[in-house]
Amino acid sequence: MRDATPTDLQAIIEDIHAELAPRFGEGKVADYIPQLAHVDPQRFGLAVVTLDGQTHLAGDAEMPFSIQSISKALVLTLALGRYGEAIWKRVGREPSGSAFNSIVQLEHEHGIPRNPFINAGAIVVTDALLAGHTPREAIAEVVRFVRFLADDEDILVDKAVARSEEATGDRNRALAHFMHSFGTLRHPVEHVLGVYFHHCALAMSCRQLARAGLFLAANGRHPLTGGSVVSAARARRINALMLTCGHYDGSGDFAYRVGLPGKSGVGGGILAIAPGRASIAVWSPGLNANGNSALGSVALERLAQRTGWSVFGS
């Protein structure tokens, strides 16, 4: 298959937007974080940014939404920068096969979470980022890093979403206390969760998110600023984790249908990476049974089919 030209790409994403329009609203908007339940289920945005920075947008691609667990890929990148491979002493790298907020494996596995993309694993990564920092400083560091990645100073944390999750985060609190009892967490649970809830509450548009993920498609380089974010080997490894663990117990299905590394969030966003080609962000708030954007996955499946982008062959 020949590579899609910029004109093809724009036409492809506009077609996908138009085809899916009758289905907008499919799935179930997350309501266990009350503030997320206020989001209009009919929203749909799609952004594709190619390595040369060309940006293709469709639908609500400029509207900020709650990135939720997509932040887990970005904070992992930050923690790898600080600790290198030593982070893997504290969190595993295996798909979990269970829900994003599951507690069952933790007891069997002595408080070491399966991977950094389930809640327990991301809470451990967040604990690592707190070393030497107050919670406020750690949040500021994450925000600075995400702004740098997207080359966009306007990115903010949605404080109402963070407060809403803080008020209802019993499940995450249970996970964190359980890990604290094993010594997996080194900071007070409320500090760790405060930072965790805030990075999950980052509000970004599809355009900003696709730009922030571009280094993962570009061997760790930052095509927008010319700098380097991580080594090529590290970018490959983050992509491998996104492919195997990025969609919780729906990761196998996403790999089968889309064939690209991706990280989802319960806000209905998905960041997907076509290595060597593009970074893609889609947003549709309705979720499927695994807590991943229902229509977002369909949109990415169609995009991958039409562009031929896949990590498994062309």
Query: So which residues are the catalytic ones?
Result: 69, 72, 196, 248, 266
Please tell me whether residue 295 binds ligand GLU under the rule CB under 6 A.
no
Dist. CA 86–CA 114, nearest whole Å:
15
- Of residues 3-32, which lie at the interface with ligand GLU (CB under 6 A)? none
- Of residues 111-130, which lie at the interface with ligand GLU (CB under 6 A)? 119
Q: Is 263 exposed, middle or buried (0-12, 13-18, 19+ CB in 10 A)?
A: buried
Size, binding site for ligand GLU by CB under 6 A: 11
Please tell me whether residue 172 binds ligand GLU under the rule CB under 6 A.
yes
Nearer to ligand GLU, 100 or 309 (CB): 100
Which amino acid is it at 203? A
Q: How far, in Å, are 45, 143, 147, 261 from residue 63 at the CA level? A: 8, 18, 16, 23
Angle at 70 between CA 256 and CA 112, to 5 degrees: 85
Nearer to ligand GLU, 116 or 291 (CB): 291
Nearer to ligand GLU, 98 or 101 (CB): 101
Dist. CA 43–CA 266, nearest whole Å:
14
Q: How far, in Å, are 11, 155, 191, 258, 297 from residue 306 at the CA level? A: 11, 31, 45, 11, 14
Backbone angles phi, psi at 95, to 5 degrees: -55, 150
Please tell me whether residue 266 binds ligand GLU under the rule CB under 6 A.
yes
Dist. CA 270–CA 291, nearest whole Å:
11
Please tell me whether residue 287 binds ligand GLU under the rule CB under 6 A.
no
Beta-strand pair 65-66/269-274: unpaired
Least Å distance, CB 305 to ligand GLU, is: 26
Least Å distance, CB 66 to ligand GLU, is: 8
Nearer to ligand GLU, 220 or 268 (CB): 268
Nearer to ligand GLU, 168 or 228 (CB): 168
Please tell me whether residue 68 binds ligand GLU under the rule CB under 6 A.
yes
Out of 69, 77, 239, 307, point to the residue binding ligand GLU (CB under 6 A): 69
- Of residues 87-116, which lie at the interface with ligand GLU (CB under 6 A)? 100-101
**Do the beta carbons of residue 138 and residue 145 sit within 8 Å?**
no
Residues that bind ligand GLU (CB under 6 A): 68-69, 100-101, 119, 165, 172, 200, 265-266, 291
